[in-house]
Amino acid sequence: MTVQFRTHETETPRLMKRRHGMGCLRFMSPELYLTYCTLNNQVFGFLGCTVAPPPPPLVPSPGSPIPVSVPSAVEVGGRHSFWDCWKLMTENMSEFEQVVNKAREAFRSGRTLNIEFRKKQLKALQCMYNENEDAICAALAKDLRKPRQESILLELNLLRDDLRYMLARIDDWVKPEKIKTNLVTMFDSPVIYHDPYGVVLVMGAWNYPLQLPLLPVSGAIAAGNVVIIKPSEISPATAQLLADIVPKYLDNDCYKVVCGGVAETTELLKQHFDYIFYTGSPQVGKIVREAANKHLTPTTLELGGKSPLYIDDTVNFDLAVRRIIWGKCINVGQTCIAPDYVLCTRQVQDKFVEKAKEILKEWYGDDPKASPDLCRIISDKHFQRISEYLKDGTVAVGGVVDREERYISPTILVDVSPKSKVMTDEIFGPILPIVNVDSAYDAINFITERDPPLCAYLFTTDSKVRESFVKDVLTGSMCVNDCVVQLGLHDLPFGGIGTSGMGAYHGRASYDTFTHRKSCLIRNYNKVAEQIGKMRFPPYNEKNTKLLSKMLREINFPSLKYISYVLAFGLGVASVLVVQEIIKAAGSDDD
């Protein structure tokens, strides 16, 4: 009987049932090494559980035959049965520790490095969205009473488009980037490889409970990470749905949904992740980043802020107000990029309110509460907070509340003081305060005096105003003459700055967020290259210093962009000459 040896395997216990063999399983945190051997697919014996890797005597060269009676010859720490070891390990591990460890083992197995695997997972995600459309809409309706069109347009379609966009491009993205070389390294090839970070945690928010946790996930999968998805507990129906359906479609070891509230999240954040992507409030964002700092984990934070909107009198009011009211009323204002407040002159304000009244009536009827197209506030706490804001100004439109249903009607507030609560907190509800300014210049000042917002909106057809706005307002993103729709473009990175967040995602930016770019220079032992290369070695002399400095100097070569046009021009000249010659030749023949 011969037994094959292998050491330092990183597999989970259920994979241990190899035919004959012996191995050492390493568990992370607490670090334990379990040495075992198997015979005829059965675990035959456990040699011990140690806190350090087994000493060298245990590691004969691979393939060397040894008798099965090896256990007695092995000296490793204390001897325990398998279940003793197992118990010892699991007792020391919290539930999340086990989840994260399992994910890490899955990452170490290298499965996610395979591009076909990633594509398969992305396609499975596509299937999940297509096959569960009704269930998803139902869950969203339960959490936020979200109308079906909003669920499809702003959650499902955004996710599906994003996947399509990624699947069409992923083959290009993952290719190592070949880089131009410089004079000193002209015989070498510099390449940038794209490495996944490892175990990624994506924490979603409750306002778009499907889109916000899942949109970053596709980027993380495309980049080859394993992902732990944590939907918000404030939207329980969608969170539960995700926990139910995701395991049916995605690889269970690599992609895991965990649920829980504040206590569980705190516990979860104690684990070691390689990247954390958080969407939510600045307060929690700070806590997440602080927890991440323990393991020096890089983080992307997608936070909120008061997104300002400036409108002047040069626009088509009917269209402009429609676009603004739509941006504010989807999800009854519980959108991180919804316009938070309006800045305009007194005259514009009157026109705006007039028009808004008309449009709201057209869309939601006389009793907006009865309209199926308006969502509800997510929780009593938020309802309480938002209804307080109604006191901060004069209600020009709306102002109706219903505690039972957590309903607040689309409301416009005028005569608002910039110091009142509605103008200092992020509103996150269907209340639109209007603050009067005298000019676009005033509006820019008003905005830049405050924290940089996630978005800034501008409604004008005056190109001068547009230019100064775009130049002077520091903001995450900006949309001119519309709201919210800049989110739908995959080519535009989406993310905040300052208190509205750090890092960006959507489309290629999502992939880049979860990718570490590993620079690599591949050199060889070419003799000519060595003549240059060896100048750097000691003993140093003045001549080599000068030469190397010269070679490393930055030279601006003339661009070769137009060379093809010059060649085409030359070709034209040449063709005339040739034609002339032919004509001449023909002419002389005639003669």
Partner 1 sequence: MTEDYKKVVDGAREAFDNGTTLPLEFRVHQLKRLKAMYSDHSQVFMDALHSDLNKPDMEAALFEVSACINDIDYILNRITSWTTPEKVSSVIPLDKSLIYREPYGVTLVMGAWNYPMQLTMTPVHGAMAAGNTVIIKPSEVSPATASALAKLVPQYLDQTCYPVVCGGVTETTELLKERFDYIFYTGSTTVGKIVREAANKHLTPTTLELGGKSPCYVDTSVNLDKAARRILWGKMINLGQTCIAPDYVLCPREVREPLVSAMKEVLLEWFGPEPKTSPDLGRIVATRHVDRLAKYLDSGRAVVGGGYNREEKWVEPTILVDVKEDSKIMQEEIFGPILPILTVDNHTQAIDLIRAKERPLALYIFSVNKDIQDTFLRRVQCGGVCINDTIFHISNNKLPFGGVGWSGMGGYHGKFTFDTFSHLKSVLSRSYNPILEKITCMRFPPYTEKKKKVMMGSVADKGDGPGVLHYLALTTQHLVSMSAGALLLYLSLHYTDTVV
Between 41 and 189, CB nearer to partner 1: 189
Listed residue (517, 516, 534) closest to 525, CA to CA: 534
Between 396 and 456, CB nearer to partner 1: 456
Task: Give yes or no: 267 in active site.
Answer: no
Between 263 and 571, CB nearer to partner 1: 571
Between 369 and 516, CB nearer to partner 1: 516
Between 241 and 329, CB nearer to partner 1: 329
Please, are residues 27 and 34 in contact by the beta-carbon 8 Å criterion? Answer: yes
Catalytic option among 150, 155, 302, 426: 302
Pairing of strands 177-178, 189-196: antiparallel
Counting beta carbons within 10 angstroms of the beta carbon of residue 119, is it exposed (0 to 12), middle (13 to 18) or buried (19 or more)?
middle
Between 62 and 72, CB nearer to partner 1: 62
Structure tokens that stand for 253 in this block: 């070891």
**Could you tell me how far CA 444 lies from the centroid of its own chain?**
30
Between 44 and 117, CB nearer to partner 1: 117
Phi, psi of 269 (to 5 degrees): -70, -10
Q: From CA 426, how far away is CA 527, in angstroms rounded?
A: 65
Q: DSSP 3-state assignment of 338? A: coil
Listed residue (371, 372, 398) closest to 387, CA to CA: 398
Pairing of strands 189-196, 515-522: antiparallel
Tell me the DSSP string of 424-446. Answer: TS---SSEEEEEE-SSHHHHHHH
Q: From CA 221, how far away is CA 244, in angstroms rounded?
A: 19
Between 417 and 563, CB nearer to partner 1: 563
Q: From CA 430, how far away is CA 377, in angstroms rounded?
A: 9
Q: What's the closest the beta carbon of residue 535 comes to partner 1, in angstroms?
A: 10
- What b/e string do you get for 555-579 counting C-beta neighbours within 10 Å, with b at 16 or more? eeeeeeeeeeeeeeeeeeeeeeeee
Q: From CA 476, how far away is CA 585, in angstroms rounded?
A: 70
Between 61 and 69, CB nearer to partner 1: 61
Q: From CA 320, how far away is CA 460, in angstroms rounded?
A: 9
Q: What's the closest the beta carbon of residue 140 comes to partner 1, in angstroms?
A: 14
Q: DSSP 3-state assignment of 414? A: strand
Structure tokens that stand for 540 in this block: 């140093």
Q: From CA 22, how far away is CA 51, in angstroms rounded?
A: 18
**Could you tell me how far CA 60 lies from the centroid of its own chain?**
46
Q: What's the closest the beta carbon of residue 131 comes to partner 1, in angstroms?
A: 16
Tell me the DSSP string of 251-282. Answer: -TTTEEE----HHHHHHHHTS--SEEEEES-H
Q: What's the closest the beta carbon of residue 352 comes to partner 1, in angstroms?
A: 16
Q: DSSP 3-state assignment of 528? A: helix
**Could you tell me how far CA 533 lies from the centroid of its own chain?**
42
Between 428 and 459, CB nearer to partner 1: 459
Longest dimension (CA), the chain: 112
Q: What is the dihedral of CA 364, 370, 372, 378, to 10 degrees?
A: 110
Distance set, CA 541 to CA 346, 382, 436, 528, 549 (Å): 75, 72, 71, 20, 13
Catalytic center residues: 302
